Structure 1
Amino acid sequence: MNLYSKYFKKYKAPFLTAVFCVALEAVCDLLGPTLMSNIVNTGIEQGSLSKVYYWGALMVLVTMIGACFAVTRNILASKVSQRMGADLRYDLFEKIVHFSELSADKLESGSLITRMTNDTSQITQFVNGIMRIFLKAPITCIGSIVLASLLNFRLSLIIYSVVAVVAILIIVSMQLSYPRFYKLQQAMDKVNSVVQEYLIGVRLVKAFGTYDKETEKFEIANTNLMKKGVSSQMIVTLTSPLITLTVGIGTVIVILMGSKMFVSKLANPGDIAAFTIYMAQILTSLIMITNIFNTFVRTKASTVRIKEVLNSEEDFNHSGEKKELNGDIEFKNVTFAYPSGSGVPAIKDLSFSVKDGQSLAIIGPTGSGKSTIAWLLLRFYDINSGSILINGNDIKRLDIASVRDNISIVPQKPMLFSGSVTDNIRWGNKEASDELIYESVEKAQANFIENMQNGYDSILGSAGVNISGGQKQRLSIARGILKDSSVIILDDATSALDAVTEAKVRENLNPEITKKTVITITQRCGTAMFADKILVMNNGVKVGFGTHAELMQNCEIYQDIYKTQIESSKEV
């Protein structure tokens, strides 16, 4: 379906009313020169004051009617374009909310922000222009040509020549403008991305003192945007004066030929005056049409970019079976490579299982595929081969909401939202009572909340910038606990906690107490060794699976990790 068709159907009545008003306004404008011609020919030239009054009054009446139509279409255009813009932004956001991980990987957040703001505004302005002036320009131009032809066909031949030259200029302008405007929007994406990256990492920039580097990155992106802006506007800058010159030359020729025809009794003074006004109207219309096409080119570029978002791949649908699931998890010969990556598998022929109510620790060097296991279990991506089973059911055959409702994840990098502490914790369970919130906070060792100025009502900044890393992690853990799912995944979620606090959190999440399957992704042997089962990963391959005691007997990599982390610390 065309991008605009659904919105046109929704606002069809006011849109067509505005178009009707524009057409009638244009007709009123076109009648002006003809009425003035009558004033000159039948009134002034013949010395009839009554005819001057008659045609003058009629001209004022037509102008007033045209003004009423103009006010009406302005009101309708503003309302419809702004409502359509709001609908488009909503549709874009709804689409982004349902993005698949692949779509999120392809489109940078800076680009998405540009598309939701700048590109949407461009389309809104275009729709407003269509309803206000864009349709008026061609009607006025064509009407002026027709009425001028009826007044004097010989003089109208000059107009045809002028319009032909201007049409060529407009076509050339469009061909040159489109690629430049598309690159302009891409340059704007880059500026937004640079600013966004700086704002996200502002503390790191301050810590490393890399202001000059960040300023240089912005300068490069900003200069590129400026150059692209100059390049795109240069076509418009050159085209408009050429059109004005062409029409101006045409007007001069009309006056010269008109004076000769007047001497030869082939034209009336009123006709020549009306012809001159029509030429002025044609000039205004042609410049407006040029601007219309330039706006159309920019809007076309914005439309293509918005369609890229709306046509992006969505998350897996909810057409599978809806089932009550438990914590039985099994990976069978799973192989997976990130779609937008190098093609090298992040997970290779992985098989393991964990029973409901057991604890599993996944340990291994950086880049060994530990977090990837969590993403696959949540079905953020589909595996290339093998199968993942929950409670004996292949997750590909299950309703995606059933799978994700069954799993609570505490990510490696805690993500908090602007709002109160309670809002952030309750994000894991919107219907949770205050008692359940207090209980999850106690289990997560997040009692620091009570010492905050406004307690649970304290406001957190975006991403929790006004609390420490350890506090963020504990709030994130509390949120994960509150979800009360059969499986809870801690993806290196205690890395910022001290050993005592981590031990208390681990004790509170003991499967024997919670009756949940607890999966802990960690690089700490001291954390992994307490789990019922330990999965050791290296370069995407399982190199060990069993209890701590078993791995100390038969897994060399695990032994190395233990010696490096535990035995070396004892020696110190």
Structure 2
Amino acid sequence: MDIYKRYIKKYRLLFLTAVSCVFFEALCDLMQPTIMARIIDDGVKNGQVATVIRFGLLMLGITAAGACFAGTRSVLASKVSQSFGADLRYDVFAKIIGFSEISSDKIESGSLITRMTNDISQVTQFINGMMRIFFKAPITCLGSMILAVMLSRQMSIILFLVVIIVAVFIVISMKLSYVRFAKVQYAIDKVNSVVQEYLMGVRLVKAFGRYGDEEEKFDGANSDLADKTVSSQIVIAYFSPLMSLTINLGIVLILFIGSILFRQSNIEVGKIAAFINYMTQILASLIMITNIFNVFVRTKASTERINEVLSSEEDFKGSQQELSYASGDLEFKNVTFAYPNGSGLPTLRNLSFKIHSGETLAVIGPTGSGKSTLAWLSLHFYDVLEGAIYFNGLDVKTLDSNILRENIALAPQKSMLFSGTVFENIAWGNPQASQEEIVKAAQAAQADGFIRNMPAQYDSNLGQGGVNLSGGQKQRISIARALVKNAPVLILDDCTSALDAVTEAKVRQAIKQFDTHKTVIMITQRIGTAMFADKILVLDNGVNVGFGSHQELLQSCITYQGIFDSQIGGDLKGIAYG
């Protein structure tokens, strides 16, 4: 388990101190049966009260020392395990933040939540247990066996036979448990995913009245989790009693053979009592070791899932570290792209176009034509299959993704707001923005009016996802957030779909006046939005079927003509030509 090495090295001193305490605590436990044998054989048998008191006080002192060691290792174990868990959670979250889109598509968000919580908690518990009792069990078991052999070699044969049988049970139990515990973790993923999906689409579920379907879906995932958990526990339920039975039968045999040896004067009563105590300690240790292996099996499954996150592909890191922040030239050159985990069919095919800094490009086309994909590729969320994308003359593959994205502001198709105030949500695009810049961006996005009417205006709190705002209000705050970033390139990915035509026109005009040198890419379904752009790119099934001005496309592009006719009407085409 490689992920442990780094953290154990970090907390090495505390870890070694705790393990040392466990070792001395185990030694204290191991000494007591031998001392008890001395009390019986040397003190009680011979009527030596002083001997009984002397060894009794020694036993009390060793017990007190063992308690001190136990308390120290418990405190250290809690400190190290919780610090370990906190560090691991931070590293996993930092890794998720740096995920490439391929990694984000590969592991569902519900599964990531399970790995961040349930799996890391399992690992934390394992570390805590390892420092508290996991080391103690094998030390106690081995020590008890050695001291038992020293007491009686004849009875030790039974001891070794019992240990071998129990060891076989433990190995079989581990092999049967591992696969089952791994399935339990994935079943937890499924339950979390179903709940998360419902919470994200709760309004849609209510609108369509599909409560029954959602309950049925959850019941299926919940029942599957219960079945897999029971299946994993059945192994423990069968093997634990078998191991206890084996060890108790061993104790019965030891009592029988011990009585024979005692009658033959080959062993003393105190040694028989000590041997039984060591056998009891071995019993407790073996049961503990069995539990350790069960916890280890679950932890191993969780560790592999955590490692899958930590080894996932990170966002693109190019070698070029400098990029002009003054201009926003963008060029697609023979770009072909298909989503890595999709159908395999290209979403964009041999796409080429170029826009210069300060120009406005509208991207229009039928649903599924690849318009939003163009935005994701501009931000280098994915690598293209063929061709290249150039930003200010530099291939985006040579740029660090963070540096590239500092130069591009995005207002996405689905407005995503965060818990906090209106001011904080807009300033999310530029944390250093002043109050004046925030207000200016909100005015350009036509959001200042409704914000002023809110109870606390810009200090009004928004619910998670902006649930207390309408769709159009969320879109305008999203646009303001993109504007306040003041990046050379602004991408508006169909983010005005909830706005009426008049408000949209005001937003479009205000954006142009906000920064005349800004390159604007408007992805839209509306011909009324696209027709005012400097250039229009028409996509159809991922192919560039038209590129030019509104007037040029009305004359040369059949797809554009069809969109114009369906939205505005063929009877107005003559006016448009004029």
Aligned to 1:433: 434
How do 1:551-566 and structure 2 match up within 5 A? Answer: 551-566=553-568
Partners of 1:224 and 1:459 in 2: how far apart?
40
SS at match of 1:350: strand
Q: Offset at 1:401?
A: 2.5
Say whether the 8 Å CA contact 1:491–1:521 is kept in structure 2. yes
What is the Cα deviation at residue 450 of structure 1?
A: 1.0
Which residue does the alignment assign to 2:362? 361
Please report how far the alpha carbon of residue 339 of structure 1 lies from its aligned counterpart in structure 2 after TM superposition: 1.1
Equivalences for residues 78-117 of structure 1 within 5 A: 78-117=78-117
Q: Report the equivalent of 2:5.
A: 5
- Give per-residue Cα distances to partners, 1:92-132, cap 9 Å, x unaligned: 00000000000000000000000000000000000000100
**Are 1:269 and 2:239 matched, yes or no?**
no
Once residues 372 and 329 of structure 1 are traced to their aligned partners in structure 2, the CA distance between those partners, rounded to angstroms, is 15
> Which of 434, 453, 456 is equivalent to 2:455?
453
Alignment of 1:317-356 (within 5 A): 317-325=317-325, 326-356=327-357
**Which residues of 2 match residues 180-259 of structure 1 at below 5 A?**
180-259=180-259
For 1:421, the equivalent position in structure 2 comes to 422
Deviations 1:50-102 (A, max 9, x none): 11111111111110000000000000000000000000000000000000000
**In 2: Cα distance, 1:196 partner to 1:321 partner:** 39
Aligned partner (choices 465, 468, 471) of residue 467 of structure 2 = 465
Determine helix, strand or coil for the equivalent of 1:3: helix
- Aligned partners of 2:522 and 2:275: how far apart in 1? 84
Q: Which runs of 5+ in 1 are unaligned?
A: none
Q: Residue 358 of structure 1 contacts residue 511 of structure 1 at CA under 8 Å; is this kept in 2?
A: no
**AA matched with 1:238:** Y
**Cα distance in 1, alignment partners of residues 40 and 292 from structure 2:** 35
Mapped to 1, the partners of 2:79 and 2:512 lie a distance apart of 58
Secondary structure, aligned partner of 2:193 = helix
Q: Distance in 1 between matches of 2:228 and 2:222?
A: 10
Residues 2-151 of structure 1 correspond to what in structure 2 (within 5 A)?
2-151=2-151
Distance 1:76 1:256 in 2: 44
Instruction: Give the aligned partner of residue 406 of structure 1.
Output: 407
Note the C-alpha offset of 1:513: 5.2
Is the CA contact 2:494–2:522 (under 8 Å) kept in the aligned structure 1? yes
* Cα distance in 2, alignment partners of residues 67 and 393 from structure 1: 68
Q: 2:207, 2:112 → 1: CA distance? A: 29
- Once residues 571 and 22 of structure 2 are traced to their aligned partners in structure 1, the CA distance between those partners, rounded to angstroms, is 82
The Cα shift of 1:512 comes to 8.8
Per mean C-alpha deviation after superposition, the further-off stretch among 159-168 and 503-512 is: 503-512
Counterpart of 1:345 in 2: which secondary structure? coil
SS in 2 for 1:321: coil
1:121-154 deviation digits (Å, cap 9, x = unpaired): 0000000001000000000011111101100110
1:463-520, Cα deviation, whole Å (9 max, x unpaired): 1111111110000000000000111000000000111110100111127953211100
Letter in 2 for 1:212: G
Contact 2:318–2:397 under 8 Å retained in 1: no
Whole-Å separation in 2 of the counterparts to 1:513 and 1:454: 29
8 A Cα contact 1:357 1:512, kept in partner:
no
SS at match of 1:245: helix
What is the identity, as a one-letter code, of the residue corresponding to 1:516?
A: K
1:329–1:395 Cα change, 3 Å: same
> 1:110, 1:384 → 2: CA distance?
30
Distance 1:247 1:397 in 2: 66
| Long gaps (5+) in structure 2 | 574-578
Deviation at 1:321, TM superposition (A): 3.4
Letter in 2 for 1:562: F
- Which amino acid in 2 is paired with 1:525? I
After TM superposition, give the deviation of residue 427 of structure 1 in Å: 0.5
Alignment-mate amino acid for residue 547 of structure 2: F
| Bigger shift: residues 299-308 or 271-280 | 271-280
The 1-side partners of 2:373 and 2:219 are apart by: 36
**Residue 548 (structure 1) aligned to one of 547, 550, 566:** 550
Report the Cα distance in structure 2 between the residues aligned to 1:401 and 1:299, rounded to whole angstroms.
35
Q: Is 1:298 matched with 2:298?
A: yes
Aligned counterparts of 2:247 and 2:552: Cα–Cα separation in 1: 90
Residues 356-377 of structure 1: CA deviation (Å, up to 9, x unaligned): 1111000011110001111111
Give TM-score, length-normalised by structure 2. Answer: 0.97
Distance 1:262 1:460, change over 3 A: same
Conservation of the 8 A alpha-carbon contact between 1:359 and 1:511: no
Q: TM-score normalised to the size of structure 1?
A: 0.98
In structure 2, what is the Cα distance between the partners aligned to 1:511 and 1:185? 54
How many residues end up aligned between the 2 structures? 571
Aligned residue among 482, 485, 488 for 2:484:
482
CA-atom RMSD in angstroms: 1.3
| Rounded Cα–Cα distance in structure 1 between residues aligned with 2:158 and 2:496 | 81
Partner SS, residue 418 of structure 2: coil
